[in-house]
A and B are shown apart, each in its own frame.
Chain A
Amino acid sequence: MTIACSFKRFVTFYSLFVFAIAKSVLFVHDLADEDLNKYTVFTDYLSSENNYDVTIVNVKNNGVKVLSDDKQTNLFDELIFAPFTMTKIKGLTEKNIMHFYENGGNIMVMGSPKQSNNNPVRKFLNNIGIYPSPKNYVTKDFEADEETTLVLNKGELFLNNYIFNNNLRDKTVSFEESSSCLIDTNEMIFPIIRQSDYMKNFNDENIWALSNQGYLAVAFQNLNNNRVSWIGSDSVFNDDSIFEQDNYDFIKSVTKWTFQEKAMLKVLSFDHYQVANVTSDVNEDSNSEVTLSFDEEPYKVKDTVVVDLYVELLDDVDKDGNEVYNPFEADDIQFELRMIDPYYRINLSKDLNDNKRYSTGKFALPDQFGIFTFAIKYYRKGLSYIDVKDIKAIRHFAHSEYPRSYEIRNSWVYLCTVGSVIAIWIAFVIMFITTSKRVRTQTISKEKKVN
């Protein structure tokens, strides 16, 4: 039973911070003190409401250290970057941020038109395919009265309900002085809010993003399920506007999502086994079904097997660090049986009695021997990835498992003929011996006469 590596890491990571006292969050900024004071609501939210261990570091003087010396372990669990106006930051390079991220940290980035062009955070974002607009490019809404205040109230602008739930299309978020970003085609980027058709990000000479090509907030999740989020404007975090409309709700949702506290699918087990019919010795009519795992009985072609996936969804982590799980509802989880090319794709259906269990139901293995991959790959934007697989050999029929001749009606004829040939032969031999005895007596008597 091999579960994909990513999942394992996720589990170990998770179990770590269940028992850890608090998650450590590093808020990195190069702001002046009065500007920093604008974030009190947000930092309070982090430290009191979520009980995080928040460290606030100003990089202006001393720089910052996020990795251990050998770059193998992170000194903090999560990172939050306020918009940088500096370009070079001591201890923080593009590569360091990448190391931090690949080591299992999550990163939240605030954007702003004031942000410098060549800072490492921007380079890091460019590296993963997110291109925030350069310094002094501002997004304006030509529908609104006040062009730099973006009131985002249309349902179609919100693109991901797992990150920010706007199912009812009734939420409104407002950004002031926002930047926008372009994104490349990487499937791991999940846009959260896009520009409306009347918005444009530009400076005096050039346009960066026009109408719906630009995004105001995007998220990214790598194969280890570590997350990055980028929000186009720092204004939503400010005390002045954080309580406007649904901004606070938005911030909380994105923070929770980024720090892996929601929309995490947890695979409890991935399992496949054979269902065999066993005719009991006592009563030949009663067929009972038994399940056999691969270790007990390796699969052969045409066997009936079942694939099960037990999964649940992490919806929230409360203040004390308790995880809140809910059953996960989906009808598009697909199981794939593959040997280079897929042989079967079967939609998993939910077990009515067990709300964690998804199952393919019984299906017959193909009439093809080989080494097959049993895999479930479930990549949905906003949810953590499920990628579990198990490679198992499906063997051919052994020579003793083909139907015997006497089980095939056609061959009864041939069996009879073989039987009759042998029977006739025996009769023939007996008759031949009895008749030839006479010959012998004759010959012996003849010999005697001669002598």
Chain B
Amino acid sequence: MNISNNTKKSILSSISLVLKLAIFICLIGAATSSRLFSVIRYESIIHEFDPWFNYRATRYLVKNGFHKFLNWFDDKTWYPLGRITGGTLYPGLMTTSGAVWYLMNKIMKIQVNIRDVCVLFAPAFSGITAIFTYLFTKNCYNDDQLAGLLSAAFIAIAPGYISRSVAGSYDNEAIAITLLMSTFYLWIKAMRTGSISWACSAAISYFYMVSAWGGYVFITNLIPLHVFILLLMGRYSTKLYSAYSVWYCIGTLASMQIPFVNFQPIRSNDHMSSLGVFGLIQFFMFGDSIKSTISTKNFKIFLKFAVIGLISFGILGLFVLTYFGLIAPWTGRFYSLWDTGYAKDHIPIIASVSEHQPTAWPSFFFDTQFLIWLFPCGVFMLFMELQDEHIFIIAYSVLCSYFAGVMVRLMLTLTPIICVCAAVTLSNVFKYNLRIWSTIKKVKNKSDNRFTELCVLISKLITVLSFLGYLILFVQHCTWVTSNAYSAPSVVLLSGSTDADGSPIFIDDFREAYSWLRYNTDEDAKVAAWWDYGYQIGGFADRTTLVDNNTWNNTHIAIVGKAMSSSEERSYEILKEHDVDYVLIIFGGLLGFNGDDLNKFLWMVRIPEGIWPDEVNEQSFFTADGQFRVDAAASDTMKNCLMYKMSYHDFPGIMGNPTQSTDRVRGATIDESHVLPLKYFEEVFTTENWLVRIYKLKDLDLEGRDLGDVYDMDNTQTKKKSLKKPKLEPRIN
């Protein structure tokens, strides 16, 4: 009996192992394949904006080696300032994909294009994320494997995470979420076992995270918060001490190796909480060892003095150091986390990024579907037990829910914890309700309260079935969202209509324009465009840009904004000063493309207005009654500014009516008489659907005349000039 029981057990465990393996393989398959919609529907192409930079950097890395990559001075961006790219990026993503490429090409001798590595990078890592989520949940929630598997399944297909990790979305976040989960997993492990080697590996994982994403600050604050809450709850233990102090010391020292991070971990306020908690835990350790030797009453007195002294010292120190400038004050992005209006008033550049807008509530449901309402249940269940590691999840979910509400892009960090909490809820639901057999037995037993048992059975069945239904709906929703909302590369657009044989029509204007630039302009030509397109111009067209998506220099962006919003003569001056040869704008009026430059135009006014309030004034771009109009009612400043002129240059007359055309984005009628002629610029290229228009700055007049005058002279009918004495300014020889 005993032996058979043992064999039974071993057979069962091996079966469960095989099953688990199978589940994991399925999970990774699901995670990867659902992210491949974009490749299938479009092609193997890098998406959006930032990935283009990462891709360009990776190519540089692969071509020039790691050492040169670290010291890369990029003279093709931010002309003429240049950018120390090697020192101002998080190299984790590029080095990882570079290593993968190297491994495949040089060691395993599989010929792989670096582009394919980059495109498929995010889907591959999402599979790893699922595994780490499993481990994390299992460790966090009483070694509950069901919860772990469920959470892994959720994270694999949750749209909130997929939005940043479809194939081609080669962004820092693609690897960062994986590292986030692995760091948290290792931290929980370290905290539970008190083992310094787990803490050390958590620190190394943290270092990797620091090297990959600026969002590492979230970990830097969350773990100390967790420890702090535990300390306040009086749950200090030696395990906690070893885990935290080892993690903090090694993690901090390691994170300072990244050139971009540099001395921040001890200088900036964002990192101070972890330092404070480190000091506090030293104190607790000391107190704890004393406590064991002296009486409780005296210890309390001792404690009171010490705590008050320590806290006041800490706060005072912080203020003094900040005052003397030893610690960097909070960054603007940090303020905007607390006050959503702050950015709009003070740092328009941050507010102008759509990712930094507050989240609209439907997007919570859109990104996580029914997990969002299982999420609070999960948190509640954890509250009921409230073990040390549960507190971690609670702290994480509370903090992140707030942040996700403030900034759309932080939805990404919230998604994993939603998945975990929802998995906890569901696993409890199933654990209770799946004991159907025992209920059936009870029903069969003909006991007294047979009716109640029957009711219980039915209700259990209903619950299980309905949850199964929800799960199926969830999978459908995820697939739908992924394929429809998150798989567009935004470099190639899909027009709604289809051509004669039923295949979809692609709108490929961006690439058309960029390749025009690549093959028709000088190699050292400088292209001015709004910063959104900087990375793409660098990546596709390989031309020098003035500003790009790495918005490190507000003034430089303001200069471009000023050029776009000034009169032609003034912009010509500004652009010539910066050696610009071409100006590229996005115009959606013909196609009905919403994200064009005229719709972003107010930012091009607001950003320079912050710097030169005398020269640029937002109000002057509105009509008298305060509307932003582009048709006949537009203000004179608006009609005279470069962006307006460039957008509508030659536009009236292309839609049949010889003098008028309709702007399909703004629903405005543009008449020939509103569009003033371009005198200092000439159109050199407009794409098929007019989405991208490229203008060239005319050369300086050989005879030193003003180009506006030359234009007027060439285009007005020379009437018989009466010879009048010219009015001349006095000349000094």
User: In the complex they form, do A and B come into direct contact, defined as C-beta atoms under 8 angstroms apart?
Assistant: yes
| B592 interface residue per 8 A CB criterion | no
Count A-side interface residues using an 8 Å CB cutoff: 40
Contact B577 A127, beta carbon cutoff 8 Å: no
Contact string, A173-198, partner B, CB cutoff 8 A, digits 1/0?
A: 00000000011111110010000000
Count B-side interface residues using an 8 Å CB cutoff: 32
Enumerate chain B residues within 8 angstroms of A126, measured Cβ to Cβ: 726
Contact B700 A117, beta carbon cutoff 8 Å: no
Query: CA separation between A408 and B704, bound complex, in Å?
Result: 55
Most buried by B among A123, A186, A188, A391: A391
Of chain A, the residue at the smallest CB distance from B68 is A398
Of chain B, the residue at the smallest CB distance from A206 is B725
Contact B728 A185, beta carbon cutoff 8 Å: yes
Nearest CB of A to B380, in Å: 48
Question: Restricting to A358-411, which residues have a CB under 8 Å from any CB of B?
Answer: 369-373, 391, 393, 395-396, 398-400
Contact A222 B704, beta carbon cutoff 8 Å: yes
Most buried by B among A188, A222, A371: A371
| B376 interface residue per 8 A CB criterion | no
Contact A183 B73, beta carbon cutoff 8 Å: no
Given known contacts A223-B700, A370-B82, A183 and B71 CB-to-CB distance under 8 angstroms: no
| B106 interface residue per 8 A CB criterion | no
Query: CA separation between A206 and B720, bound complex, in Å?
Result: 20
Given known contacts A118-B721, A186-B704, A191-B733, A399 and B259 CB-to-CB distance under 8 angstroms: yes
| A340 interface residue per 8 A CB criterion | yes
Nearest CB of B to A401, in Å: 8
Query: CA separation between A222 and B728, bound complex, in Å?
Result: 20
| A216 interface residue per 8 A CB criterion | no
Enumerate chain B residues within 8 angstroms of A199, measured Cβ to Cβ: none
| B143 interface residue per 8 A CB criterion | no
Query: CA separation between A400 and B82, bound complex, in Å?
Result: 20
Q: Is the interface of B mostly helix, strand, loop or mixed?
A: loop
| B446 interface residue per 8 A CB criterion | no
Query: CA separation between A188 and B700, bound complex, in Å?
Result: 14
Nearest CB of A to B289, in Å: 21
| B723 interface residue per 8 A CB criterion | yes
| B703 interface residue per 8 A CB criterion | yes
Enumerate chain B residues within 8 angstroms of A86, measured Cβ to Cβ: none
Given known contacts A117-B723, A222-B702, A396-B73, A371 and B84 CB-to-CB distance under 8 angstroms: no
Enumerate chain A residues within 8 angstroms of B116, measured Cβ to Cβ: none
Query: CA separation between A134 and B724, bound complex, in Å?
Result: 9
| A162 interface residue per 8 A CB criterion | no
Contact string, B50-90, partner A, CB cutoff 8 A, digits 1/0?
A: 00000000000000000100110101000111101001000
Contact A340 B577, beta carbon cutoff 8 Å: yes
Contact string, B697-733, partner A, CB cutoff 8 A, digits 1/0?
A: 0001011110000000100001011010110110101
Contact A184 B731, beta carbon cutoff 8 Å: yes
Enumerate chain A residues within 8 angstroms of B728, measured Cβ to Cβ: 131, 182-185
Contact A339 B704, beta carbon cutoff 8 Å: no
Of chain A, the residue at the smallest CB distance from B75 is A393
Given known contacts A183-B728, A188-B703, A340-B578, A134 and B723 CB-to-CB distance under 8 angstroms: yes
Given known contacts A102-B702, A127-B713, A185 and B729 CB-to-CB distance under 8 angstroms: yes
Question: Restricting to B220-260, which residues have a CB under 8 Å from any CB of A?
Answer: 259
Of chain B, the residue at the smallest CB distance from A190 is B733
Contact of B726 among A184, A222, A373, A398 (CB under 8 A): A184
| B385 interface residue per 8 A CB criterion | no
Contact string, B438-454, partner A, CB cutoff 8 A, digits 1/0?
A: 00000000000000000
Query: CA separation between A400 and B524, bound complex, in Å?
Result: 29
Query: CA separation between A405 and B733, bound complex, in Å?
Result: 60
Nearest CB of A to B76, in Å: 9
| B579 interface residue per 8 A CB criterion | yes
Nearest CB of A to B322, in Å: 26
Question: Restricting to A180-230, which residues have a CB under 8 Å from any CB of B?
Answer: 182-188, 191, 206, 208, 220, 222-224
Most buried by A among B80, B700, B713: B80
Nearest CB of B to A371, in Å: 4
Contact A371 B79, beta carbon cutoff 8 Å: yes
Enumerate chain B residues within 8 angstroms of A182, measured Cβ to Cβ: 725-726, 728
Enumerate chain A residues within 8 angstroms of B80, measured Cβ to Cβ: 339-340, 370-373
Enumerate chain A residues within 8 angstroms of B723, measured Cβ to Cβ: 117-118, 134
Given known contacts A127-B713, A131-B726, A340-B578, A187 and B704 CB-to-CB distance under 8 angstroms: yes
Nearest CB of B to A429, in Å: 15
Enumerate chain B residues within 8 angstroms of A128, measured Cβ to Cβ: 703, 705
Query: CA separation between A224 and B699, bound complex, in Å?
Result: 13
The 7 listed contacts between A and B (C-beta, < 8 Å) are A102-B702, A123-B721, A129-B703, A134-B723, A340-B577, A370-B81, A399-B259
